[in-house]
C-alpha cells in the first residue's frame, strides 16, 4: 500500500495499479486497496476496468456514496450521460439517508444529465419549495414532473402537479402557459432550468482525492425510531407522485402522513390500514404501522408489522428497538433482550469498522444465567440508551475510545456503561454536579457526588467524579487511592476488564506507582488485550528510566514486553515504542551498535519514520557503517521526494555534509539536488569539493569525471575547469 501511495503521489499510475493489485492478492476484499486501484485505473484512462473496480467497492461499502460518484464521473468522461445520471441518483439516495441537503447537488447533476428522472425531480421539488429563496427551482422541478406524468399518460397526476405549482407561484407566466397547453391537450414543453452555480461538492478541478464533500450543517439528532419514521414518511410522500399508490388511496395516504406528523395515532393507524387494504404493502408503510401500533399499546399487531421489516437496512435498528420495547411491555424479558441487543449490535455495525461480534454472542448466551430482574434491568437500560436523541454521538464516542485503546473485546464494558447510565434518578444528580462545576461551586459538586454514591454505591461514574474533584483540588494521591479501592472492588466481583480500566486511571494519576501498572499488565494479558498490555510495558519502562533513574530495570521491562509481543504474535507496529525505548537507552550509554540494531528493526516495520531514519544515518557514520548510513539516507530521500518535501531533502543533506564533510556520496547527493533545483553555483561548489577529495585520495580518473560534469553545467569560470581537465588528462596518460 505504501508503494502504491508513493506511485500515486508521483502520478505514476501504471506502477500504482501494479502495487494495488499486489495488495489485493493478499487481501482481495480490502476496500481501501480496491478504491486505490479504481482511482489509478481511472487516472490511467482504463475506464472499463475502473468501472468494474468501483462497482466492487460499492458492494463492499454499500453505505458509501463515493464509489457511485466516481462511477458517474467515469460515465461522464466516456459520454454516457444516462448511466452517469443513474449513478448520481444512487449517490444522492445514500447521502439523503443521513442528510437530504447533502444529496441536492447529486440530484441536480442527475436531472441535468437526464431530465426525465422523475424520482430526482420529486426529491428536489419537495426540498426546494420549503424555502422562499429556492422556490423558483421548486417550480422548475414541479413542471418537469407534470411533463413526465403527461408523457406517461397519467394526466390526472399531471393536473394535480400543475395546480400545486400554481399554488406556489400563482402569477408565474411559465406555469400558466404550461396549464394552458395541458388544457388544450398539447404536450407540456421542457422548461429551461434556472441558472445556478455548480455545487462545491461536484467541482473536481485541482481537487485532492477524498475532499469532495461539501461541509453542510448536520440536522438535529433524533432517536432511531423517529429517524426511521421520518425516512418512511419521506418515502411514502415520494410514492404519492411515483404512480405506485393506487389512485383511490392517494388522498388517504397524504392524510395518514399528516396525522402521524401531529401524533394523531389512532387516526393515522386507521388511514394507513385503508391504504394497505387498497393494495400497497410497502416496507415504509409496514414500519409506520408497527411503530404506531406499539405506541398505541397493540403489541401483537406491532410485532406482526415490525417483523416484516426488521431485515430492511433502513428500518432494522428501529424495528428491533421497537420490538424490544413491545416485548418488554409484555414482561417477556428474553425476547425483549434479544431484540434490544440486536438493535445495539446493528447500531454498532453502522458506526464501527470492526465490531466485537463474539462479545454480542457471549452477551446473548449469558442471558440464560441472568435472573429476570437482571434481564429486566438490561432491557430498561438499553431502551433508555438507544432512545436518547444523541444515541449516535454517544455510541460513536464510546467506540472511538475503545479503538484508540486497541480494545477489540469491548461489549461487556459497553453494556456495563449502558446499565450504569440507565438510572434516571442518579443521572439527574450527575447533571447537578456538572451544573455546580460550571458555576464554580466544587464543594456543592462534591456533596452531590457523595449523595449519588449513597443512592447507588456501585455506580462507577459517581466514584470517578469524586476522583476528578479530588484532582481539581490538587489531592492527586487521594484520587488515586479512591480509584484503586473501586478497582479492587471490581476485581473481587470478577469483573477484571473494569478493574483493569480503573487501575489504568490510577496509573495516570500516580505514574510512579509500579504495583497497579504490573497488575494491569497481567490482567490485560489474561484478557488478550495485547495492544493495551504492550502500551503499559512501554510506559512502565519509561517510568523506571526517567522517573526512577534505573536504566537496567527499564531494559528488562522493554525486553519482557518484546518477548510477550512475540509470544502473542502481536502486530509488529505495536513493538515500535519498545524498540525505540531500547535504542534510546543504548544510545545514551554509547552502545551505538546495539542502538543501531534496534533502530534497524523499527525501520523494517515503518520505513517512513523520519526520526529513526536520521538516527540510523547518524549512528551508521559514527560506528563506521557508512554504506548502511547511505542506504538509510537514500530511502529517506526517496520518501521526501514522493511526498513533495524537497526543501527537507536539502536541509538534511546540508546538515549531513556539514557533519561529515569528507564523505563523497553525501556531497554527490547534495550536488544533484542543487542541480535539479537549478542552484548551479552551489552544485558546482559541491562537485569542486568532491574533485579535491578524489585527488587527495589519488582517485584521478574519478576526479576527471567529476570535472567533466562541472563543465557540463557551464559555470561562469568554466575555462578554468577546462584547463584543469586538460592538465589532469595529460598527467594521467
* pLDDT for res 287: 92
CA distance 166 to 177: 11
Q: How confident is the model at residue 73 (pLDDT cuts 50, 70, 90)?
A: very high
Average pLDDT for residues 257-263, to the nearest whole number? 80
CA distance 277 to 275: 5
Across 18-27, 187-196, 600-609, 652-661, least confident range = 187-196
User: Which residues have a Cβ under 8 Å from the Cβ of 165 and sit 6 or more positions away?
Assistant: 139, 142, 143, 146, 172, 175, 178
Taking the mean position of all CA atoms in its chain, how far away is CA 435? Answer: 33
- Cell numbers for 364, please give them: 446473548
Q: How confident is the model at residue 493 (pLDDT cuts 50, 70, 90)?
A: low
* pLDDT for res 512: 64
Q: How confident is the model at residue 189 (pLDDT cuts 50, 70, 90)?
A: confident
Whether residue 380 has pLDDT greater than 70: yes
CATH fold group of domain 223-330:
1.25.40
| Contact between residue 102 and residue 95 where contact means Cβ atoms under 8 Å apart | yes
Q: What percent of the chain lies above the pLDDT cut of 90?
A: 13
| Contact between residue 386 and residue 347 where contact means Cβ atoms under 8 Å apart | yes
| Contact between residue 686 and residue 670 where contact means Cβ atoms under 8 Å apart | yes
CA distance 244 to 113: 25
Average pLDDT for residues 682-703, to the nearest whole number? 89
404-452 residue pLDDT tens? 556 677 787 778 767 765 566 676 676 677 667 666 778 888 888 888 8
Average pLDDT for residues 581-606, to the nearest whole number? 84
Alpha helix positions (H), 279-390: 283-295, 299-306, 316-329, 333-351, 357-366, 372-386
| Contact between residue 381 and residue 358 where contact means Cβ atoms under 8 Å apart | no
* pLDDT for res 316: 92
Structure pTM? 0.42
* pLDDT for res 203: 46
CA distance 553 to 521: 16
Domain limits of the chain? 115-194, 223-330
CA dihedral 627, 631, 632, 638 (to 10 degrees): 160
Whether residue 615 has pLDDT greater than 90: no
* pLDDT for res 204: 43
* pLDDT for res 521: 81
| Contact between residue 374 and residue 415 where contact means Cβ atoms under 8 Å apart | no
Burial 140-158 (b: 16+ CB within 10 A, else e): bbbbbbbbbbbeeebeebb
* pLDDT for res 289: 93
* pLDDT for res 420: 62
Tell me the average pLDDT of the chain: 82
* pLDDT for res 423: 62
* pLDDT for res 406: 62
Q: Which of 519, 514, 563, 522 is nearest to 539 (CA)?
A: 514
* pLDDT for res 71: 93
Q: How many other C-beta atoms are found inside a 10 Å radius of the C-beta of residue 22?
A: 13
* pLDDT for res 424: 61
Whether residue 27 has pLDDT greater than 60: yes
443-454 residue pLDDT tens? 888 888 888 888
Average pLDDT for residues 246-272, to the nearest whole number? 84
Across 14-23, 56-65, 319-328, least confident range = 56-65
Give just the sign of the alpha carbon dihedral 364, 367, 372, 377.
negative
* pLDDT for res 346: 92
CA distance 303 to 307: 6
CA distance 689 to 148: 80
Q: What percent of the chain lies above the pLDDT cut of 70?
A: 89
Half-sphere exposure of 257 (CA within 13 A, CB side): 19
Identify the residue whose cell numbers are 421520518.
Answer: 230
213-257 residue pLDDT tens? 333 333 456 789 888 888 888 888 777 666 678 878 878 887 888
| Contact between residue 10 and residue 642 where contact means Cβ atoms under 8 Å apart | yes
| Contact between residue 514 and residue 497 where contact means Cβ atoms under 8 Å apart | no
Q: Which residue has the higher pLDDT, 500 or 664?
A: 664
Across 155-169, 429-443, 678-692, least confident range = 429-443
CA distance 20 to 36: 7
Whether residue 497 has pLDDT greater than 70: no
DSSP E strands in 439-581: the ranges are none
- Range picked from 318-322, 571-575, 612-616 for highest mean pLDDT: 318-322
CA distances from 616 to 605, 624, 658 (A): 14, 12, 17
Burial class (CB in 10 A: 0-12, 13-18, 19+), 638: middle
- Cell numbers for 690, please give them: 568532491
Amino acid at each position: 500500500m505504501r508503494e502504491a501511495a508513493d506511485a500515486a503521489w508521483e502520478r505514476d499510475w501504471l506502477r500504482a495499479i501494479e502495487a494495488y493489485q499486489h495488495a489485493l492478492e493478499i487481501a482481495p476484499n480490502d476496500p481501501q486497496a480496491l478504491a486505490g486501484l479504481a482511482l489509478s485505473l481511472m487516472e490511467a484512462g482504463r475506464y472499463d476496468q475502473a468501472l468494474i473496480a468501483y462497482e466492487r467497492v460499492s458492494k463492499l461499502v454499500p453505505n458509501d456514496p463515493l464509489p457511485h460518484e466516481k462511477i458517474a464521473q467515469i460515465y461522464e468522461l466516456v459520454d454516457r450521460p444516462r448511466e452517469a445520471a443513474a449513478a448520481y441518483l444512487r449517490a444522492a439516495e445514500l447521502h439523503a439517508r443521513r442528510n437530504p441537503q447533502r444529496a441536492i447537488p447529486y440530484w441536480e447533476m442527475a436531472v441535468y444529465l437526464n431530465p426525465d428522472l422523475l424520482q430526482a425531480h420529486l426529491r428536489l421539488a419537495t426540498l426546494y419549495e420549503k424555502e422562499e429563496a429556492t422556490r423558483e427551482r421548486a417550480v422548475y422541478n414541479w413542471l418537469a414532473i407534470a411533463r413526465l406524468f403527461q408523457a406517461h399518460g397519467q394526466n390526472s397526476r399531471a393536473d394535480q402537479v400543475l395546480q400545486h405549482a400554481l399554488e406556489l407561484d400563482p402569477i408565474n407566466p411559465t406555469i400558466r402557459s404550461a396549464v394552458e397547453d395541458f388544457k388544450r391537450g398539447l404536450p407540456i414543453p421542457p422548461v429551461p432550468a434556472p441558472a445556478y452555480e455548480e455545487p462545491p461538492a461536484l467541482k473536481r478541478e485541482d481537487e485532492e482525492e477524498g475532499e469532495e464533500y461539501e461541509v453542510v450543517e448536520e440536522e438535529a439528532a433524533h432517536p432511531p425510531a423517529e429517524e426511521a419514521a421520518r425516512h418512511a414518511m419521506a418515502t411514502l410522500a415520494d410514492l404519492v407522485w411515483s404512480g405506485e399508490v393506487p389512485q383511490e388511496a392517494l388522498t388517504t395516504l397524504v392524510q395518514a402522513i399528516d396525522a402521524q406528523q401531529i401524533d394523531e395515532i389512532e387516526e393515522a393507524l386507521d388511514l394507513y390500514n385503508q391504504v394497505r387494504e387498497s393494495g400497497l404493502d410497502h416496507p415504509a408503510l409496514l414500519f409506520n404501522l408497527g411503530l404506531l401500533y406499539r405506541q398505541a399499546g397493540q403489541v401483537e399487531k406491532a410485532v406482526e408489522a415490525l417483523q416484516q421489516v426488521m431485515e430492511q437496512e433502513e428500518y432494522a435498528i428501529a424495528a428491533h428497538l421497537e420490538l424490544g420495547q413491545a416485548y418488554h411491555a409484555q414482561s417477556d424479558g428474553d425476547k425483549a433482550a434479544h431484540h434490544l441487543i440486536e438493535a445495539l449490535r446493528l447500531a454498532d455495525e453502522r458506526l464501527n469498522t470492526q465490531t466485537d461480534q463474539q462479545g454480542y454472542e457471549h452477551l446473548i448466551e449469558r442471558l440464560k444465567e441472568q435472573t429476570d430482574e437482571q434481564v429486566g434491568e438490561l432491557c430498561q437500560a438499553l431502551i433508555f440508551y438507544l432512545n436518547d436523541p444523541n444515541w449516535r454521538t454517544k455510541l460513536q464516542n464510546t467506540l472511538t475510545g475503545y479503538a484508540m485503546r486497541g480494545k477489540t473485546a469491548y461489549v461487556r464494558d459497553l453494556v456495563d456503561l449502558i446499565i450504569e447510565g440507565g438510572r434516571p434518578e442518579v443521572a439527574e444528580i450527575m447533571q447537578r454536579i456538572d451544573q455546580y462545576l460550571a458555576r464554580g461551586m466544587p464543594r456543592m459538586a462534591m456533596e452531590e457526588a457523595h449523595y449519588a454514591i449513597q443512592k447507588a454505591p456501585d455506580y462507577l461514574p459517581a466514584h470517578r467524579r469524586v476522583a476528578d474533584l479530588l484532582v481539581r483540588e490538587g489531592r492527586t494521591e487521594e484520587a488515586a487511592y479512591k480509584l484503586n479501592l473501586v478497582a479492587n472492588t471490581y476485581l473481587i466481583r470478577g469483573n477484571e476488564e473494569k478493574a483493569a480500566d480503573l487501575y489504568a486511571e490510577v496509573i495516570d494519576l500516580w505514574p510512579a506507582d509500579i504495583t497497579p501498572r504490573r497488575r494491569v499488565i497481567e490482567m490485560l494479558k489474561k484478557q488478550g488485550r495485547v495492544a493495551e498490555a504492550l502500551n503499559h510495558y512501554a510506559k512502565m519502562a519509561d517510568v523506571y528510566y526517567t522517573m526512577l533513574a534505573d536504566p537496567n530495570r527499564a531494559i528488562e521491562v522493554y525486553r519482557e514486553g518484546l518477548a510477550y509481543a512475540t509470544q502473542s504474535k502481536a502486530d509488529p507496529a505495536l513493538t515500535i515504542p519498545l524498540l525505540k525505548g531500547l535504542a534510546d537507552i543504548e544510545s545514551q550509554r554509547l552502545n551505538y551498535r546495539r542502538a543501531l540494531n534496534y533502530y534497524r528493526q523499527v525501520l523494517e516495520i515503518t520505513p517512513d519514520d523520519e526520526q529513526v531514519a536520521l538516527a540510523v544515518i547518524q549512528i551508521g557514520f559514527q560506528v563506521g557503517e557508512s554504506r548502511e548510513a547511505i542506504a538509510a539516507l537514500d530511502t529517506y530521500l526517496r520518501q521526501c521526494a514522493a511526498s513533495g518535501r524537497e526543501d527537507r531533502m536539502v536541509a538534511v543533506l546540508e546538515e549531513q555534509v556539514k557533519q561529515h564533510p569528507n564523505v563523497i556520496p553525501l556531497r554527490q547527493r547534495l550536488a544533484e539536488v542543487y542541480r535539479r533545483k537549478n542552484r548551479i553555483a552551489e552544485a558546482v561548489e559541491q562537485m569542486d569539493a568532491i574533485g579535491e577529495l578524489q585527488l587527495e585520495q589519488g582517485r584521478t580518473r574519478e576526479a576527471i569525471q567529476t570535472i567533466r560534469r562541472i563543465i557540463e553545467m557551464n559555470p561562469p569560470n568554466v575555462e578554468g575547469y577546462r584547463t584543469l581537465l586538460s592538465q589532469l588528462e595529460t598527467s594521467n596518460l
